[in-house]
Structure 1
Amino acid sequence: MSAPLIDFRQVERRRGDGFRLRVEAFGIRAGERLAIVGASGSGKSTCLDLLALTLRPDAATAMKLSPAQGGSIDVQALWQKDGRSALANLRARHFGYVLQTGGLAPFLTLAENAMLSRRLLGLPGRGPAEKLAEQLGIGHLMRRKPRQVSIGERQRAAVVRALAHEPPIVLADEPTASLDQSNAEDVMRLLVEAATGAGAALIVVTHDRELADEFGLEAVECHHDPGTRTSTVDRRAA
């Protein structure tokens, strides 16, 4: 069996106010669908940012990234060497990230937003962007700017952008938090279907455990101990 796409062991991030997040283990393989769940303030988004290589760990035993088209990459060593350029390249090439508010550039059209990652990576053509936009029901809106469409439509455009460069790992931080129940279900369904269709691993941070269960996401608990102000995540690859 091939190595997990992400394989982190004993990764820790601390805050100045005494809070500590400890990722005992976190592994995920292509095609797996996970939801990081837990109480508000337990560190779910902090965990996602560690996995996304956007947040520097304070300590780690091992941090490996093993994309299908390459060998194992020692992420821990890159952090230790302050290899920010290499880390940024890994993020751009191997991750798609859907932010809670969409995170679209307001001065670009939805189509231009969708193509950002492909252009930055020098990828030819439009890839799956147009097909994804049609599948998500926003193909007719792609010439509009974010302010000209609804919140739900912006979130759908963010899903297109996250998948347009065909990354092996898709992350989403509370992608349904600002939506009503109907739109939340639509966005979650489309995110899961799009990631599954692309064969990508999917990790979603959500406070809505029922919604995660409804769409078949395996719950990974972010356990918080108020006494020690420590949160713990432990999910080893299957």
Structure 2
Amino acid sequence: MPNIEMNNHNALANVAARKPVIRLDDAWLSLSSADGMVEILRGISLSIDAGQTVGVLGPSGAGKTSLLMIMAGLESLTTGQIDLAGFDITRMHEDMLAALRRDHVGIVFQAFRLIPSMTAIQNVAVPLELAGRADAKAGAADALESVGLGHRMTHLPDQLSGGEQQRVAIARAIAPRPQILLADEPTGNLDSGTSEKVIATLFEATAAAGAALVLVTHDPALAERCGRVLTIEDGMITDDRATGLKGDAA
């Protein structure tokens, strides 16, 4: 006789896994300049599911980073709506938005943004401490181990290579086990050999956390390693296609 309770549980889990963690509906972003208002994003609508990996391509100035900042709640829409981790953040108060970001979103920037006076483990522990986690140090240690830096925990940023610093930044982003990981040109300051190690770490960490990954890049080959590729031109999505991959660490 089939286990109805277990079947129902599995069905609900599958539905939850497919639930969008990011959704934009007719999103517009306009900023003022010396020449008047400039439209940065123009009518973007999309949804990104839990666990999905998305590469974002486009020329400089197309709006890629602005899209990422909107998704992070670091920039407010002019019109439209954005849901993040199931919450409508379009007009959310900054305090609530900061708490939502802390608990559900990890961000990796091109610049590592580590605190110079703090060791690797102290840097990674920051978001956990802000969340009031009693196990912040242990969680930070686990995150550093997961990115291959268990032997560098007590080193300051200036004692680490560029690739190691970016892996510390990835560990900091994944330590709270976010639903969403946003990466803006994470290898832009690194050489090709180091870049490959960092990208492999990024995909592996994302998969281990079960997070959705949105990766902004100028590199088509890197974008193609994601399960989905968006192309942005002049503030609009001009192409949105699946690659058939889940997100490749190889």
Structure 1 residue corresponding to 2:55, chosen from 35, 38, 49? 35
Find the counterpart in structure 2 of residue 45 from structure 1: 65
Q: Residue 115 of structure 1 aligns to which amino acid in structure 2? A: A
Is the 8 Å Cα contact of residues 185 and 211 (structure 1) preserved in structure 2?
Answer: no
Q: Distance in 2 between matches of 1:139 and 1:184?
A: 20
Find the counterpart in structure 1 of residue 153 from structure 2: 142
Q: Distance in 2 between matches of 1:223 and 1:41?
A: 8
Q: Distance in 1 between matches of 2:144 and 2:78?
A: 39
Q: Distance in 1 between matches of 2:223 and 2:139?
A: 26
**Aligned-partner SS, 2:176:** coil
- Superposition TM-score, scaled by structure 2 size: 0.82
What do the CA deviations read for 1:99-131 (whole angstroms, capped 9, x no partner)? 111111111111000000110001231455323
Find the counterpart in structure 2 of residue 97 from structure 1: 107
Find the counterpart in structure 2 of residue 63 from structure 1: 82
Find the counterpart in structure 2 of residue 4 from structure 1: 20
Q: Distance in 1 between matches of 2:22 and 2:200?
A: 24
After superposition, residues 147-226 of structure 1 pair within 5 angstroms as 147-213=158-224, 215-224=225-234
Q: Distance in 2 between matches of 1:165 and 1:185?
A: 24
Is the 8 Å Cα contact of residues 146 and 154 (structure 1) preserved in structure 2?
Answer: yes
Is the 8 Å Cα contact of residues 23 and 47 (structure 1) preserved in structure 2?
Answer: no
The higher-RCO structure (CA 8 Å, 6+ apart) is 1
**Aligned-partner SS, 1:207:** coil
> What value does the CA root-mean-square deviation take over the aligned residues?
1.9
Find the counterpart in structure 2 of residue 76 from structure 1: 90
Structure 2 runs not aligned, ≥5 long: 1-14, 243-250
Is the 8 Å Cα contact of residues 40 and 66 (structure 2) preserved in structure 1?
Answer: no
Is the 8 Å Cα contact of residues 27 and 236 (structure 1) preserved in structure 2?
Answer: no
Q: Residue 4 of structure 1 aligns to which amino acid in structure 2? A: P
Is the 8 Å Cα contact of residues 72 and 101 (structure 2) preserved in structure 1?
Answer: yes
Which deviates further from its counterpart, 129-138 or 168-177? Answer: 129-138
Q: Residue 206 of structure 2 aligns to which amino acid in structure 1? A: A
Q: Sequence identity of aligned pairs in percent?
A: 34
**Aligned-partner SS, 2:77:** coil
What do the CA deviations read for 1:32-81 (whole angstroms, capped 9, x no partner)? 00111100111110100000001011111x22223xxxxx4221232xxx
Structure 1 runs not aligned, ≥5 long: 67-71, 225-230
Q: Residue 174 of structure 1 aligns to which amino acid in structure 2? A: E
Q: Distance in 1 between matches of 2:112 and 2:46?
A: 25
CA drift of 1:20 comes to: 2.6
Which deviates further from its counterpart, 191-200 or 118-127? Answer: 118-127
